[in-house]
Amino acid sequence: MILRRLTTAFRKQDWFTVGVETLIVVFGVFIGLQVNNWNTARQDRARAAVYTERLKAELHAELEYATALLEYNSIASRAGDVAYLGLSGQSIMDDETILINAYRASQYNWYERRRAAFDEIVASGSLALISDVGLRETAIGIYNTPIFSIILSEGQSSRYRDLFRMTIEPSLHYDLNKNCGDKAYDSNSSAVGLLTIDYPCTLTVSPEEMADGVLALRSDPEIARALKLRNAQMSGRTFDLESVIRTLGLKKLFEAEITP
């Protein structure tokens, strides 16, 4: 209809009508673009709100996991120190205490990262929608730091872990695992499968089996050397992880929710 009127106006050289019709077309296009922009902006705000809440929830779980990992590694590290003193004879302690601590020093903790929201945001090119700069930068740092994979890799490939299990009898290892091994506990958010070894325990094997186990561990000098290395690793990684949590602002994001 507008095109027909414009054509007629051009033929009649009715420039006033041409101008009016042109303005109507331009104004209509402008309004259409504005409506489209408004709709896009509204959709972006809605997506940003959803992404922000999902990202916060996942980072909260990451903080729980990291805190649990720190606590677990601290216990394992202290156990390693006690085990080394006992095995080397620098401190007098009973066989059961040596075995429990030597076993717990060989343990490692792991967890499945909570990063589905972050990966979706990055894959869709929507990272700029997260207007909270602190949240965005913390997420980028946490999901790209190698510290978690390093801790897992060192725990899985620990020479001491292998030597310990190759040295003690299967029945003793079973007893240690059953009575003094990992225990799961409930989290406060979406973190699942949190583990601890921070609890008292006793063994059910005979005193003779315990004595044989300690003697076997003491008989291989490589075990003490591997334990020293593992203790040094655990101490260093604990410091590294604490630094990552602090410098990347993970704990700071949820300070208001943390009870002093």
CA nearest neighbour of 65 among 246, 195, 157: 195
Structure tokens at 209: 């089996």
Instruction: Please tell me the predicted confidence (pLDDT) of residue 48.
Output: 82
- Phi first, then psi, for residue 185 (nearest 5°) are -140, 160
CB atoms near residue 102 (< 10 Å) = 26
pLDDT per residue as tens, the chain (260 positions): 555 665 665 555 555 565 655 666 666 666 666 655 556 556 667 888 899 999 999 999 899 889 999 999 999 999 999 999 999 999 999 999 999 999 999 999 887 788 999 999 999 998 888 889 999 999 999 999 999 999 999 999 999 999 999 999 999 999 999 999 999 887 666 666 688 999 999 999 999 999 999 999 999 999 999 999 999 999 999 999 999 999 999 988 887 554 43
CA nearest neighbour of 182 among 80, 93, 75, 64: 75
Query: Would the pTM of this model clear 0.85, i.e. be above it?
Result: no
Find tokens 């207007």 and name the residue.
131
CB atoms near residue 162 (< 10 Å) = 12
- Phi first, then psi, for residue 183 (nearest 5°) are -125, 135
What's the Cα-to-Cα distance from 191 to each of 115, 155, 182, 194, 243, rounded to whole Å? 12, 21, 16, 7, 21
Instruction: Please tell me the predicted confidence (pLDDT) of residue 58.
Output: 92
Instruction: Please tell me the predicted confidence (pLDDT) of residue 44.
Output: 61
Q: Are 49 and 117 in contact (CB under 8 A)?
A: no
**Three-class HEC string of the chain:** CHHHHHHHHHHHCCHHHHHHHHHHHHHHHHHHHHHHHHHHHHHHHHHHHHHHHHHHHHHHHHHHHHHHHHHHHHHHHHHHHHHHHHHHCCCCCCHHHHHHHHHHHCCCCCCCCCCHHHHHHHHCCCHHHCCCHHHHHHHHHHHHCCHHHHHHHHHHCCHHHHHHHHHCCHHHHHHHHHHHCCEEECCCCCCCCEEECCCCCCCCCCHHHHHHHHHHHHHCHHHHHHHHHHHHHHHHHHHHHHHHHHHCCHHHHCHHHCCC
Instruction: Please tell me the predicted confidence (pLDDT) of residue 258.
Output: 46
Whole-number Å distance between alpha carbons of 206 and 234: 31
Whole-number Å distance between alpha carbons of 234 and 73: 7
Structure tokens at 244: 């990552």
